[in-house]
Structure 1
Amino acid sequence: MPKLILIDGSSYLYRAFHALPPLSNARGEPTGALFGVVNMLRATLKANPDYLAFVSDAPGPTFRDALYDRYKANRPPMPEELRSQVEPMLATVGALGFPILRVGGVEGDDVIGTLALQAQALGIEVEVSTSDKDMAQLVGPHVTLVNTMTGTTTDRAGVLAKFGVQPEQIIDFLALTGDAIDNIPGVPKCGPKTAAKWLAEYATLDGVIANADKIGGKIGESLRATLPQLPLSRQLATIKTDVALEFGPTDLTRREADTTLLRELYTRYEFKAALKELDNAAPTSEGGDDTSAATTTKGIATDVAPAGAADLSFAGDYELVTTPAQLDAWIEKLRDAPLIAFDTETTSLDAMRADIVGLSLAVEPGKACYIPLDHDYPGAPPQLDRDTVLAALKLVFEDATRPKLGQHAKYDINILSHYGIAVQGLRHDSMLESYVWNTTATRHDMDSLAKKYLGYDTVKYEEVAGKGAKQISFSQVDLDTACRYAAEDADVTLRLHHALWPKLESVPSLRRVYEEIEIPLVPVLAEMERRGVLIDGDELRRQSQQLGKRMLELQQQSYALAGREFNLDSPKQLQAVLFDELGLEARLKTPTGQPSTNEEALEAIADTHELPRLILDYRGLAKLRSTYTDKLSSIVNPRTGRVHTSYHQGSVATGRISSSDPNLQNIPVRTEEGRRIRQAFIAPPGWRVLAADYSQIELRIMAHLSGDEGLLKAFREGGDVHRATAAEVFGLKPEEVSANQRRAAKAINFGLMYGMSAFGLARQLGVDRAEAGDYMGRYFSRYPGVRAFMDATREQAHRDGYVETIFGRRLYLENLTSRNAGLRQGAERAAVNAPMQGSAADIIKRAMIAVAAWLQGRDDAHMLMQVHDELVFEVRADAIDAVRAAVSERMSGAAQLAVPLLVDVGVGANWDEAH
């Protein structure tokens, strides 16, 4: 299996600092922590992993700070002798070629957790290099923890030996014990042994809470006194595994090392062994013509400015605007500008909760201004009145004839909307220019783009506001420093546009995707975010109670089947019950050779005994409860009384929109309990929820792209395409097809788009591999155009290095030439699937734009959510028929395919009823 190594940078920096003696170089600069980290990184590279990344905390508050204002309040400030080693550490990490990951709003642990689960799902072995005990909750079949300073590896058995609980219980374990370092409140006097004892007896934190009255003595009193705070402690201790990232595990490949910088760093800090290793390494392009950044082979987009292009990496000249005369002069510049770059500084990353602090503008590269509006530190100089400034700028921002530019402009549009400014005339967004140009070349945040496309190092937020517990709000940053940071944002946004726009202009298909799909979608998504959706908190609480009751019933049924009580959350006890006592066949093993009890393993034996299915049902309900029914009410915005998700245009390589807080794409629909969660998404009195969903859109796109006559006929005749496929494959009349045969055809239809093998199909259908292979052979003999399309697409991908959607969006696939067979085959599967997924993404985006244009000016309907191939609306009851017809017409007309593009529309009091 390919391997991904995720390095917990913060953990190792502190560990090295405390573990090693206080070393220093001849200049007297402290080097102990840096020495430890560098040696760890060198050891990691010798392991030659397929993927790797150095993950550290981004500056600024995270969602946990919003949950609990005392979070990490007890942490002492970073010692100065350690602080001075941070910058050289990051420089060394980058020079060694490690991708450095820092994601705002979450902690590095959350980024690691998300990537670990994504990699595990892709069949990639994950090694988390850390000494942080919280990471034990991530340990699984293909995820282990490694402490390179002690040489120890922690797998499932290691977690149990160290903590006395299973990895699945670590979160509840931490909630009970608390964490003094992070200031997570636990149960006073509850140590690790007590927590492990309670979880051994009651399985989960919910079990401990339910049985709190049975626990005697002082510790029982302590437990009962802290019951109200335990759910918060659990939430704080839980590593997020669904962070919306603009990259995935397979993007984390090592870059070419910067040997010149490494030699400078090793020499300065006197790392003799590392320097000797560097000098003995094979020569690189150092000192000569470095063309590594200008790859053009296999269709990979060039990232180097063409010969003669203007240098965009020079220092900028920025003006702090604090007088009416300065403001008037800038407004005059805006009136004559061919393009206005703008950016806001605020109090929060959450646009629906943020207040504006200042605003920056640029109209030519290298020239920008910052207008402070609400800096409130002691002794702050006088600033222009906020309302006066915004009123003066309103005329410019709302003038659609004056082109505007932003970097992730949707955020700034929403901020300005709070102050009565409806931004018009958004012509460009540098984030989307990069995203459309090459989705996989880089992250699309400003710092990454400036480094890649301009060769420019931006001022980082922590440089002006500090880090960790000592970080201040931007409103407390002094005006001169704030101007340097904020005006640079507008300036760099404009420079990025000058670097990226010529690239898009050179490829007409990409320019059309950008101008006709991505840019028009920005205000549509912004308005959806502002509108939000109503949540029925009482319904969620009822569902939580019902889920808890059903989980208890499943426990009792499991005990009856096993003939005794056992801990359903304990893999060790499950192993004993399933394989030792009931004698079931262990079809999957852990890396240590033990029978596996993960979801895949239980699914593999669910047809041999009732108990594995009960365990799977129990786990599914527990996840629903913790992820949705217990959580959604807590993220209702107090200003609006609604839940406001954040939509991300630049995060999924195929062009799909993703969302976070909440992640709407992950709300389950395949189980009754999962679908019931949608009942909590409601319409206000007098209104209804309308849901419009494309019918089998990716299969229809496959028929269109392949041109296969059999598949085209099945869709054109308007019948059940899976039944029609089954009739073709099994040589039957449609009415003779059995339910199992239709299920097999459906699995083939969808599986082929995702590159499913005969082995995968066999497992899904519960048949042997030969029979599955026979099904696939018959499918391709009946639909030869599909096989031809798949073969041609793979060939084209190998030839050009990318594939395209119907509308010209490109997906570059660098692993097509990998020596690793698994990576190469994965890229080939993606090459076949991406045109379908990407075209479906383009189609629903086009539909959203068309529907939003029709809704413009209406007050009887609002578009609320986009989930996969579905749009959800809030419609006044007397307008249902008109809206239903208009939405269906515009969604069906979003693309002209060789088969009908059908839309299913439903209406109800809540989202579930509308299906």
Structure 2
Amino acid sequence: MNDKKTLLLVDGSSYLYRAFHAMPDLRAVPGDPASPATGAIRGMINMMQALRREVRADYAACVFDAPGKTFRDDWYPAYKANRSPMPDDLRSQIEPIHEVVRLLGWPVLHVPLIEADDVIGTLAKTAAAQGIEVIVSSGDKDMSQLVDEHITIIDTMNGKKRDVAGVTAEFGVPPSLMIDYQTLVGDTVDNVPGVDKVGPKTAAKWLLQYGSLEGLLEHAADIKGQAGENLRKALDWLPQGRRLVTIRTDCDLAGHVEGLPALDGIAIGAQQVDALKDFYERYGFKSLVKALESHAVPPELIEENNRKKKGKGRAADTGPGLFDEAADSLGDEAVEKASNLAYDTVLTWEAFDAWLVKIEAAELVALDTETTSLDEMHAQIVGLSFSVTPGEAAYIPLAHNYPDAPEQLNREDVIARLKPWLEDGTKKKLGQHVKYDRHVLANHGVEVRGYAHDTMLQSYVLEVHKPHGLASLAERHLGRSGIAYEDLCGKGAHQISFSQVAIDKAAEYSCEDSDQTLDVHRVLWPQLEADDKLRFIYQLEMDSSEALYRIERNGVLIDAPTLATQSHELGTRIMALEQEAYDIAGQPFNIGSPKQIAEIFFTKMGLPVIKKTPSGAPSTDEEVLEKLAEDYPLPAKILEYRGLSKLKGTYTDKLGQLANPRSGRVHTHYAQAVAVTGRLSSNDPNLQNIPIRTAEGRRVREAFVAPAGSVIASADYSQIELRIMAHISGDESLLRAFKEGIDVHRATAAEVFGVPVDQVSSEQRRYAKVINFGLIYGMSSFGLAKNLGIETKAAASYIDRYFARYPGVKQYMDETRASAKETGYVETVFGRRLYLPEINSPNGPRRGGAERAAINAPMQGTAADLIKLSMVKVQNVLDEEQRATKMIMQVHDELVFEVPEAEVDWVRTEIPRLMAGVADLKVPLLAELGIGPNWDKAH
């Protein structure tokens, strides 16, 4: 177990300048230039919060330059003489920044007469000498001289990491030569001259040739040309230059950091919630106050919740970059609105006709709906907005119904007059999460055609690791922020529907959405257009959005009586399990209480403690129960009780309630822009997580049925990730097994155990199957041993034999890890980029997880691409041939269809053929199809 401590040092002076220049000109009173500036404060808060989430540390400090001169000014009066004075608006924010950083839990240091770099250098080397891992967060390249095996520099603004390898790659010399390098090149920012006309390449070349500055100076007379002459002219200056550029690592910090060399004086602390709230209120940071009041929910999650309430369902994603996340949380202290926005509210037919002419003539129109509900199958339109030119938009209110609301155009008439344009595929349209808007308009009898772009999907393809909500996109790419949904509708029990929002406010809100969507598109689309692979993936996502809309609209028929029977049977079994657990324990207890379970297990029954909770109590989590269940009956009963209770509560009780009462169909929602691998997620209900490892779980699929005269067909790829591994790795043995149609697990067993294929035992094949799939997911020898129930040494031997027999797989894994560390991402076969933010993390477990993901993500991502290609291809053929067969579900690598009996033969032949033909890999794709009266029987 890695028990090393970590020290995180933040170059606060670098941070505050970046915050000041990158953030908008925010004011404590928005729009009042006489009000105190707050942009740098806000940026600093966001960056410090984000950094703390990204980097876990035992000790930390945010280090700023103290005002006044330093010892270097005494050495060299011209030091930093060419620097512009600090802007007054930044100077006024310094003290508040110090205050709020402390309130956020960070120790703050600013030591008179000593620069921040020297404080950081002293603390870094002090910690490193004790074996503590040090991370310095700074954009200053001068810090590179501090780097060694224990000290790493990270630049959170651009994701750059400067470890020993990173410094060497960036500057051409190792960290040990960086002081010499900086001496030769000089530092124009600090007004420290180097050798005239000597740049980075010459400096690196000299140092590598002569080993050091001292070695170079010994051979100064041998250096030819102008560069040599300039070097000799600088001989008298270079010792002073070297002294100036050297970060001191031996400063006296007594009185500023207690107890050095121990670092307890800079232990990172908890944020001071009450004082923070007062600070945020003082500087007008309303959204941060709201975040504190809502238990510090991250702003991007608040944004996502707002969007869902609005009925847009705009999906957020995992893990934004540090400054992107800062921008995402601006909320209602947003940038000063542009003065030239022209937003119209359409209340007359004359105004409507004028805008209809505009949208019909426009090359591309951004369209946004305001609705009554998040439920896309039932939401009704409250209003529509359009934008054809950045800064201009129109809102057509259609169903606002508050007292004294102005008269509005008739909704049915407006939709009827827009319908020809909406259904014209030659009229190009743009939206943010267009699948939702398609459903809403379909609820009013309009089948929209011509959606050419979706900004949510553009972001998903370009920057999968960042949030894709419109507010985040506008902040990140435009420097614009807007009105929050809760500002219009309130929240909680007092929240009103959008139909009750005043039309003037609703118009500004909706116009802003359309306007920002168009503006974001103008930034993102050129980036996609310029990259063939990303453009292909984007088009695949757009086509998939269309196919998913059709799947969602079709829905799947649910047999409610079957579910009711299953619920009753599960309920009976759950009650029996509860009594059986009481009998084994010798007493009744709350089977849902971890505390009571722990008392029964560890106090009364004396079961072994497998692991403990963070508070030190014995754990009874799922992992512990599974381990104990191997030897003891009570944990096994509790595990079974939990599993059946979840199955009943999540599926058999609720699926029938989710079905449309008129059609009996369930309409799940597929979220495209969530999983970084490109896979879909399903919710309301979640069809991806129906447990199929137990008989009871598999039976739930019996309730997914076909109507009279039809059957259910299920088609999926056979061993898809192993086939992708064979294609990507190019390993000859794997390729041969698939091309010859050999059972790949039997072939692997033959290779690993050294026996002929026809003599492989069932146990050897089982072991080989675990090895095949385990290595795809980056499984270690420890994990394999645990999975197979064997010694770690034996598992390691199996892995070694596997790689000896499949050297192409080993080479792929090694090269992929190295490439991921260099670029920060891996790619699918088709070019989808899968970012790995932790791939160079100083945290060992996080880095290890990212390395495992680097191996598996290209296979998962390629499998996701393939099933999307299949979904699109099959839907296109169903449409072209006017088939009555409907695609009703996509679950992992599986497509599910509702098939009229007259088309069964066609489906049985054509669907596997179409799926197998969507890509030409080095091994054949194989799709298998089953047919039955319900989903379970179709497998």
TM-score, structure 1 as length reference: 0.68
Q: Does 1:745 align with 2:815?
A: no
Structure 2: which 5+ runs fail to align?
6-33, 37-41, 50-95, 109-133, 136-277
* Mapping of residues 235-634 of structure 1, within 5 Å: 246-248=316-318, 315-440=340-465, 442-515=466-539, 517-559=540-582, 561-562=584-585, 566-575=589-598, 577-579=600-602, 584-634=607-657
Instruction: Look up the equivalent residue of 2:534 and give its one-letter code.
Output: L
Shift of the alpha carbon at 1:577?
A: 4.9
Determine the structure 2 residue equivalent to 1:683: 706
Q: Does 1:886 align with 2:914?
A: no
Q: Is the 8 A contact 1:675 1:912 kept in 2?
A: yes
Q: Is the 8 A contact 1:313 1:456 kept in 2?
A: no
Q: Distance in 1 between matches of 2:585 and 2:747?
A: 44
SS state at 1:873 partner: strand
Instruction: Look up the equivalent residue of 1:102 and give its one-letter code.
Output: L
Q: Distance in 2 between matches of 1:43 and 1:624?
A: 45
Alignment CA distance shift 1:555-1:474 (3 Å) = closer
SS state at 2:386 partner: strand
Shift of the alpha carbon at 1:462?
A: 2.0
Alignment CA distance shift 1:256-1:535 (3 Å) = closer
Q: Distance in 1 between matches of 2:616 and 2:288?
A: 41
Q: Distance in 2 between matches of 1:677 and 1:457?
A: 46
SS state at 1:415 partner: helix
Q: Distance in 2 between matches of 1:315 and 1:569?
A: 60
Q: Is the 8 A contact 2:379 2:443 kept in 1?
A: no
Q: Distance in 2 between matches of 1:488 and 1:730?
A: 65
Instruction: Look up the equivalent residue of 1:101 and give its one-letter code.
Output: E
Determine the structure 1 residue equivalent to 2:886: 862
Q: Distance in 1 between matches of 2:804 and 2:819?
A: 23
Taking only aligned residues, the RMSD between alpha carbons, in angstroms, comes to: 3.6
Alignment CA distance shift 1:315-1:45 (3 Å) = farther
Shift of the alpha carbon at 1:519?
A: 1.0
Could you give the per-residue CA deviations for residues 148-195 of structure 1, whole angstroms, max 9, x where no partner exists? xxxxxxxxxxxxxxxxxxxxxxxxxxxxxxxxxxxxxxxxxxxxxxxx
Q: Distance in 2 between matches of 1:830 and 1:384?
A: 54
* Mapping of residues 688-767 of structure 1, within 5 Å: 688-767=711-790
Q: Is the 8 A contact 2:688 2:891 kept in 1?
A: yes
SS state at 1:817 partner: coil
Q: Is the 8 A contact 2:378 2:443 kept in 1?
A: no
Q: Distance in 2 between matches of 1:444 and 1:824?
A: 25
Shift of the alpha carbon at 1:409?
A: 0.6
Q: Is the 8 A contact 1:312 1:454 kept in 2?
A: no
Shift of the alpha carbon at 1:85?
A: 8.1
Q: Distance in 1 between matches of 2:103 and 2:781?
A: 40
SS state at 2:666 partner: coil
Q: Distance in 2 between matches of 1:344 and 1:424?
A: 16
Q: Distance in 2 between matches of 1:379 and 1:590?
A: 58
Alignment CA distance shift 1:343-1:254 (3 Å) = closer
Determine the structure 2 residue equivalent to 1:67: none
Alignment CA distance shift 1:780-1:548 (3 Å) = same
Q: Distance in 1 between matches of 2:835 and 2:481?
A: 26
Q: Is the 8 A contact 2:557 2:665 kept in 1?
A: yes
Q: Distance in 1 between matches of 2:749 and 2:376?
A: 50
Alignment CA distance shift 1:562-1:468 (3 Å) = closer
Q: Is the 8 A contact 2:828 2:858 kept in 1?
A: yes
Alignment CA distance shift 1:587-1:732 (3 Å) = farther
Q: Distance in 2 between matches of 1:448 and 1:902?
A: 41
Q: Distance in 2 between matches of 1:638 and 1:458?
A: 39
Shift of the alpha carbon at 1:103?
A: 4.6
Instruction: Look up the equivalent residue of 1:346 and give its one-letter code.
Output: T
Q: Is the 8 A contact 2:785 2:795 kept in 1?
A: yes
Q: Does 1:653 align with 2:684?
A: no
Q: Distance in 2 between matches of 1:510 and 1:314?
A: 36
Could you give the per-residue CA deviations for residues 187-229 of structure 1, whole angstroms, max 9, x where no partner exists? xxxxxxxxxxxxxxxxxxxxxxxxxxxxxxxxxxxxxxxxxxx
Q: Distance in 1 between matches of 2:534 and 2:559?
A: 42
Alignment match of 2:795 (pick from 763, 769, 772): 772
SS state at 1:362 partner: strand
Shift of the alpha carbon at 1:774?
A: 1.4
Alignment CA distance shift 1:780-1:470 (3 Å) = same
Q: Distance in 1 between matches of 2:782 and 2:819?
A: 26
TM-score, structure 2 as length reference: 0.67
SS state at 1:777 partner: helix
Shift of the alpha carbon at 1:789?
A: 0.2
Alignment CA distance shift 1:638-1:354 (3 Å) = farther
Q: Is the 8 A contact 1:99 1:253 kept in 2?
A: no
Determine the structure 2 residue equivalent to 1:88: 285
SS state at 2:405 partner: coil
Instruction: Look up the equivalent residue of 1:420 and give its one-letter code.
Output: G
Q: Distance in 1 between matches of 2:283 and 2:658?
A: 35
SS state at 1:662 partner: coil
Rg larger for = 2
Structure 1: which 5+ runs fail to align?
4-26, 51-80, 111-242, 266-310
Determine the structure 1 residue equivalent to 2:300: 101
Could you give the per-residue CA deviations for residues 561-598 of structure 1, whole angstroms, max 9, x where no partner exists? 55665554344554455556655544333345544322
Question: Which region of structure 1 is more displaced relative to structure 2, 897-906 or 97-106?
Answer: 97-106
Q: Distance in 2 between matches of 1:914 and 1:86?
A: 62
Could you give the per-residue CA deviations for residues 540-564 of structure 1, whole angstroms, max 9, x where no partner exists? 1111111122223333444555566
Alignment CA distance shift 1:255-1:423 (3 Å) = closer
Q: Distance in 2 between matches of 1:315 and 1:98?
A: 34
Q: Is the 8 A contact 1:801 1:813 kept in 2?
A: yes
Alignment size in residue pairs? 672
Q: Distance in 1 between matches of 2:339 and 2:905?
A: 58
Q: Is the 8 A contact 2:721 2:863 kept in 1?
A: yes
Shift of the alpha carbon at 1:604?
A: 2.0
Q: Percent identity, please.
A: 50
Alignment CA distance shift 1:834-1:875 (3 Å) = same
Q: Distance in 1 between matches of 2:559 and 2:933?
A: 11
Shift of the alpha carbon at 1:627?
A: 1.3
Q: Distance in 2 between matches of 1:458 and 1:108?
A: 13
Determine the structure 1 residue equivalent to 2:923: 899
Q: Distance in 1 between matches of 2:321 and 2:785?
A: 32
Q: Distance in 1 between matches of 2:757 and 2:749?
A: 8
Q: Is the 8 A contact 1:102 1:108 kept in 2?
A: no
Alignment match of 1:801 (pick from 806, 809, 824): 824
Q: Is the 8 A contact 2:300 2:316 kept in 1?
A: no
Shift of the alpha carbon at 1:360?
A: 0.8
